[in-house]
Chain A
Amino acid sequence: MPSADPIPVSAMPLVSPSALLHAHLKQSPPRRPSNRVPSEPRAIQLNVGSLTHCNGSSLVKVGATTIVCGVRAEILPVSEIPSFRVTKSSDRNRSKPVQRKDGGEGSDDEEGYSPIQLYNLLVPNIELATGCSPKHPAGTAPSVEAQSISQRLLSLLHTSQLVKTSDLEVIYTPPEESQDLELGINADPEIKAYWTLYIDMMCISHGGSIFDAAWLALFAALKDCLLPQAWWDIDSEQVLCSAAVEEARRLELRGMPVPSSWGVFVPEARLLDMQDEQLDQYWILMDTDAFEEGTCEESGCITVDCSNNTDSILRLEKSGGAVIEIEQLEQIAGFAKRRWQQWRDVLQTASGP
């Protein structure tokens, strides 16, 4: 006797997620349950400058994923650094200490470890314990996923050298009359403090591909970041800032890295028809959502930067499974380039408050 109440459609992802995804993907042409083609990323919405107390802020919505990012700048005096070493690497790029060089990015390359990595001047952290999904209850310690995303964000910040060290330096130039060559006192400019950027991300809604959305929110917030003019006050021996907006300056970011996550769906053996000869069938899904993330065993993330008309891959991560080969990676890199163009268009039309 059949049941009077059929299983509702919203329960099908819970009953058999693999069968549901396979039933959608084996159509011709293949579609996803969210009515996308396998290589199509979700639409991106971006709002910048909404939070009052932040130097830079952004809100990014990618499908069902919502992330709010705020950047706060604080002063780190060099007297607070336990093992501060005097570095002259950034002085070579300065014709004058008070104004920065407007040359290309090549002249700003830093050799060795930059102070950003030595002193942890960029502090990204993501918070998933906001009730964004049933798997992340509120008020708990950071989960493995939150720690992993924070570490990946920090590593990508260092790999891409997105922020210049010269933007974060507070330099003091002694006046000329204090120079006394006989006593050995010189009037060279010296670094008195660094700006430290605390980049905090709150995940409001967890809808899959959190690392991609977190990086996009981080990039938009850093692009929106406004640092006040800071100088070293010799009388009070501290760093003072100006409250005028005209004297504040923005960060000059190097390039525009954009990550793209993907997953590979391999149907279960019992779903395949024995008469069908394609036993090694698979689908590559770009920008997986939360439902597809739970179904794909093999997943990865590729970070591309197509600025200045040169396509470069900054990072390539893959885990699980054995399907992906070189040909598929080239195909995925092509999909990631389209994602880069989509983000560039969204960034140009970003709406402020």
Chain B
Amino acid sequence: MSDRRRINGPPGTTQPPRFAHSPGSARAWPERARKPNELRKIFLQTGLVPSASGSAYLELESSPEPKPTILRTSSTIKLSCAVHGPKPLPRTASFSPNLQLSASIKFAPFATRIRQGYVPDSTEKDLGLHLENALKGVLLPDRWPKSAIDIAVTVLEGEDDREEGSRFTGIGLFNLLAAAINVSMAALADARIDCLDLLAAGVGAVVPGKDGKLVRILDPAAVEHGEILSTCVVGYLPSRDEVVEMWSYGSAPKQSDGGVIGYDELADSAIAAARGAQTVIQAVLLESVMRSQPASKQPATRGEMNDIEMNT
């Protein structure tokens, strides 16, 4: 396809580089070195887009790779989020007494192992719908009638998996959705928009253990497991103990029985992961509030602008 609004590539189609198999470059997948209930390190920062109402940057870090190679594999997730609004609806929009929320997730072309173009695909729309569904559970829509709010999440680096897929399915997608919910909540709080609670999202999974039994783990990385039986992502309001978003795949019985892990324990794992993420978001937001509070006591140093007399 030829996009007339972008600079197109060569007239023929280009192919991703194909790497030769040599004994020295035999691929050794990283195995999980964390405990089953240990999350990856979360780096969160707010206020990086000054012209937006609220903004945040989230990075899920991973352990460094032992051997440097061109074929780098990591389970790092890097997201940037910007919140614009609440702003008046355009005149052509129909009247609505509630706040209109639109959330979108967009991949950078370099975010995956196989490069994708700029055309949005069904994965982005799926993730956007789930993100919108989660955020609707935390906003108070009747506070801003006839208004709209736009939340844009940009995926700078997505999580890798062991298959040679171009866009993710399964675990990588769930981890990305959980990270997108967390970064959107931080951006909403940075925009000082009233919410019900501090929404947090987490992922739980059931994987086969070393002795053949099933193990419940929190925050699974897709590249660290060869087989994942079932997984679940949960958007959770901790103070109210409510679940506002749930998405799962794989097979699991309804109830736990004997040595079998059921769906209820799988959801509990995801809720425990969400609680861990919520403590990080809360700490970062409290720190940003502390940092911005002393500035309001000194009006002379407010903002970057110099305060001078204007003689017109």
- Cβ contact within 8 Å between B118 and A125: yes
Residues of chain A with a CB closer than 8 A to B224's CB: none
In the docked arrangement, what's the CA distance between A139 and B103, Å? 10
Of A27-35, A95-103, A340-348, which stretch is located at the interface? A27-35
- B94 contacts partner chain A, Cβ-Cβ < 8 Å: no
Residues of chain B with a CB closer than 8 A to A129's CB: 106
- B122 contacts partner chain A, Cβ-Cβ < 8 Å: no
Of B238-246, B262-270, B275-283, B300-308, which stretch is located at the interface? B300-308
* Total cross-chain contacts (CB, 8 A): 227
Contacting residue for A226 out of B70, B83, B112, CB 8 A: B70
- Cβ contact within 8 Å between B18 and A23: no
Knowing A53-B72, A53-B110, A202-B156 touch, does A81 contact B12 (C-beta < 8 A)?
yes
Of A5-13, A212-220, A277-285, which stretch is located at the interface? A5-13
In the docked arrangement, what's the CA distance between A140 and B232, Å? 31
- Cβ contact within 8 Å between B17 and A241: yes
- B115 contacts partner chain A, Cβ-Cβ < 8 Å: yes
Contacting residue for B120 out of A74, A119, A139, CB 8 A: A139
- B293 contacts partner chain A, Cβ-Cβ < 8 Å: no
Contacting residue for A240 out of B13, B18, B84, CB 8 A: B18
Residues of chain B with a CB closer than 8 A to A204's CB: 48-49, 80, 82, 154
- B310 contacts partner chain A, Cβ-Cβ < 8 Å: yes
- A86 contacts partner chain B, Cβ-Cβ < 8 Å: no
Contacting residue for A35 out of B73, B110, B304, CB 8 A: B304
Knowing A131-B152, A243-B70 touch, does A74 contact B14 (C-beta < 8 A)?
yes
CB-nearest residue of chain B relative to A84?
B12
When each residue 11-43 of chain A gets 1 if its CB lies under 8 Å from chain B and 0 otherwise, what string results? 011000001100110010001011100000000
Within 8 A of B (CB), among A33-66: 33-35, 50-54, 57, 64, 66
Within 8 A of A (CB), among B14-69: 14-20, 22, 24-25, 48-52, 55, 68-69
Contacting residue for B16 out of A74, A127, A233, A242, CB 8 A: A74
- Cβ contact within 8 Å between B69 and A245: yes
Q: For chain A, give the interface size range.
A: 35 or more
- B182 contacts partner chain A, Cβ-Cβ < 8 Å: no
- Cβ contact within 8 Å between A139 and B106: yes
Knowing A23-B311, A131-B49, A131-B152 touch, does A70 contact B9 (C-beta < 8 A)?
no
Within 8 A of B (CB), among A52-94: 52-54, 57, 64, 66, 68, 70-77, 79-82
- Cβ contact within 8 Å between A52 and B115: no
- Cβ contact within 8 Å between A82 and B50: no
Instruction: Write the nearest CB–CB distance from A191 to chain B, whole angstroms.
Output: 14
Instruction: Write the nearest CB–CB distance from A199 to chain B, whole angstroms.
Output: 9
- Cβ contact within 8 Å between A77 and B15: yes
CB-nearest residue of chain A relative to B12?
A80
In the docked arrangement, what's the CA distance between A326 and B281, Å? 55
In the docked arrangement, what's the CA distance between A27 and B306, Å? 12
Residues of chain B with a CB closer than 8 A to A130's CB: 80, 82, 106, 152, 154
A selection of 9 A-B contacts at a CB cut-off of 8 Å is A20-B310, A34-B305, A51-B78, A52-B76, A53-B112, A66-B48, A75-B14, A127-B118, A196-B14
A51-B156, A125-B118, A245-B70 provided; 17 other pairs, C-beta below 8 A? A9-B303, A19-B312, A33-B305, A68-B156, A80-B12, A80-B14, A120-B8, A120-B9, A125-B7, A131-B81, A138-B106, A139-B104, A154-B7, A196-B10, A200-B109, A244-B24, A244-B69
A residues contacting B by CB (< 8 A) are: 9-10, 12-13, 19-20, 23-24, 27, 31, 33-35, 50-54, 57, 64, 66, 68, 70-77, 79-82, 119-121, 123-125, 127, 129-134, 137-139, 141-142, 147, 150-151, 154, 194, 196, 198, 200, 202, 204-207, 226, 228, 230, 233, 238-245, 248, 270-271, 290
